[in-house]
């Protein structure tokens, strides 16, 4: 079925076809509240009471909470939802579900079940299109081998979809941001540029190949997470989403109280995103992310403006970022590539010093 016909309102004879992205003020993980603003919002939250079985909570800015069930099992719990980053309802559902499950994989876990989070403008969006969003999410969960076992829905002015995702892992392989070590190599599993391509799409300048690149990366499950977490040399694991590579790497540095250096030219970027980045096309989240990083991120003079934008670009369903000892780097890359992540690359190094990120040209 043609997408424009699918989203055509009842009075389509007099009105232009409806696009999902026109119904929301932002899209994908670019909707996330900026890190600096979020920190200010949470600044006066009371300290969490100690719970002996809470292995990971809010203290290390990790991807999910982890609760020890017993000596062999830990429960991973996370939630993620956002507004449309694309106009195709089925693709929107797939991207949102893939992104939500990524948080489980990033902790080294295997998903076991999901619950749907649904907010839809039911008087604006045809029920058939809403159904396609849910089908897209369910198809990804089926690919991951888990059920969508329930959920909650509301009538909202903007379309919102995502998942509560639950997973299981052995307590000994849970990977936290705070566990990166001095001398670790940084490896990124997916190329950057999702937010930039999404902005190009909204402007009507993204061609079919560029859209295909965006969909291919945002709907690829990070199922390699558990295999990476079991490698003895892997110390920290996170996924790169709305705060961009810079923001999420800075969380790793702050958690471990270490610095990092990234070689800008080594960071994988989707080919279609490069010309748009050079034209200054990208989501507003880029500026927010750069502002939130502040002086904690330093760029060498040789780093081009477009590269700075790419490094701060808000990723939706982005790649896993691994900190591992140098001796394990080849094994980590082989594990990524065996899982179908051909763009995985070494991008930098964790080192002593203040919790800052230097971008080398």
- Provide the annotated active-site residues: 29
- 204 annotated as belonging to a binding site for a ligand: no
CA distances from residue 83 to 29, 176, 252 in whole angstroms, order as listed: 8, 28, 27
Query: What 3-state class would DSSP assign to 316?
Result: coil
- The answer to whether 336 touches 181, Cβ cutoff 8 Å, is no
- 80 annotated as belonging to a binding site for a ligand: yes
- 61 annotated as belonging to a binding site for a ligand: yes
Sort 354 into a burial class: Cβ within 10 Å, 0-12 / 13-18 / 19+. Answer: exposed
Q: Which two tokens stand for residue 114?
A: 């999901």
- 239 annotated as belonging to a binding site for a ligand: yes
Q: In the beta sheet, which residues pair with residue 269?
A: 192
- 152 annotated as belonging to a binding site for a ligand: yes
What's the chain's length in residues? 361
CA gap 344, 340 in Å, rounded:
9
Sort 209 into a burial class: Cβ within 10 Å, 0-12 / 13-18 / 19+. Answer: exposed
For the beta carbon of residue 292, count every other beta carbon within 10 angstroms. Answer: 23
- 32 annotated as belonging to a binding site for a ligand: yes
CA gap 32, 35 in Å, rounded:
8
CA gap 324, 253 in Å, rounded:
14
Non-local (6+) Cβ contacts of 140 within 8 A are 93, 94, 97, 98, 101, 219, 221
Helices and strands in the chain, H and E counts:
12, 13
- 343 annotated as belonging to a binding site for a ligand: no
- Beta-strand ranges (E) seen in the chain are 54-56, 65-68, 74-82, 110-120, 148-155, 160-169, 185-188, 234-239, 259-263, 297-299, 320-324, 345-351, 357-360
Q: Which two tokens stand for residue 243?
A: 């705060």
- The answer to whether 259 touches 356, Cβ cutoff 8 Å, is yes
Query: What 3-state class would DSSP assign to 225?
Result: helix
- 265 annotated as belonging to a binding site for a ligand: no
- 91 annotated as belonging to a binding site for a ligand: no
Question: Which residues sit in the known binding site for ATP?
Answer: 32, 60-62, 80, 103, 151-153
Question: Which residues sit in the known binding site for Mg(2+)?
Answer: 63, 103, 239
Question: Which residues sit in the known binding site?
Answer: 32, 60-63, 80, 103, 151-153, 239
């Amino acid at each position: 079925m043609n997408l424009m016909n699918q989203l055509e309102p009842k009075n389509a004879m007099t009105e232009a076809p409806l696009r999902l992205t026109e119904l929301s003020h932002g899209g994908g993980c670019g909707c996330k509240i900026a890190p600096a603003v979020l920190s200010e919002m949470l600044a006066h939250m009371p300290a969490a009471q100690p719970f002996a079985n809470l292995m990971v909570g809010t203290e290390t800015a990790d991807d999910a909470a982890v609760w020890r069930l017993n000596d062999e099992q830990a429960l991973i719990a996370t939630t993620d939802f956002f507004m449309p980053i694309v106009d195709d309802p089925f693709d929107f559902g797939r991207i949102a579900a893939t992104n939500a499950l990524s948080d489980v994989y990033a902790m080294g876990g295997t998903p076991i079940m999901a619950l749907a989070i649904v907010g839809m403008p039911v008087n604006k969006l045809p029920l058939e299109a809403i159904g396609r969003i849910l089908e897209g999410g369910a198809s990804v969960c089926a690919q991951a081998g888990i059920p969508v076992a329930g959920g909650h829905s509301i009538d909202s002015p903007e379309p919102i979809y995502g998942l509560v995702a639950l997973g299981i892992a052995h307590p000994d392989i849970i990977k936290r941001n705070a566990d990166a070590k001095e001398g670790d190599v940084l490896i990124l599993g997916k190329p950057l540029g999702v937010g930039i391509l999404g902005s190009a799409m909204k402007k009507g300048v993204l061609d079919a190949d560029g859209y295909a690149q965006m969909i291919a990366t945002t709907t690829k499950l990070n199922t390699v997470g558990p295999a990476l977490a079991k490698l003895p040399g892997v110390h920290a694991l996170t996924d790169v989403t709305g705060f961009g590579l810079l923001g999420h790497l800075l969380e790793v540095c702050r958690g471990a109280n270490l610095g990092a250096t990234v070689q800008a030219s080594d960071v994988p970027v989707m080919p279609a995103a490069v010309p748009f980045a050079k034209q200054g096309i990208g989501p507003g989240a880029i500026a927010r992310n750069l502002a939130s990083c502040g002086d904690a991120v330093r760029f060498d003079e040789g780093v081009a403006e477009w590269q700075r934008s790419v490094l701060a670009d808000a990723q939706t369903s982005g790649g896993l970022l691994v900190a591992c000892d140098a001796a394990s780097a080849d094994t980590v890359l082989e594990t990524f590539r065996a899982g179908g992540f051909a763009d995985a690359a070494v991008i930098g190094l964790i080192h002593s010093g203040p919790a800052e990120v230097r971008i080398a040209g």
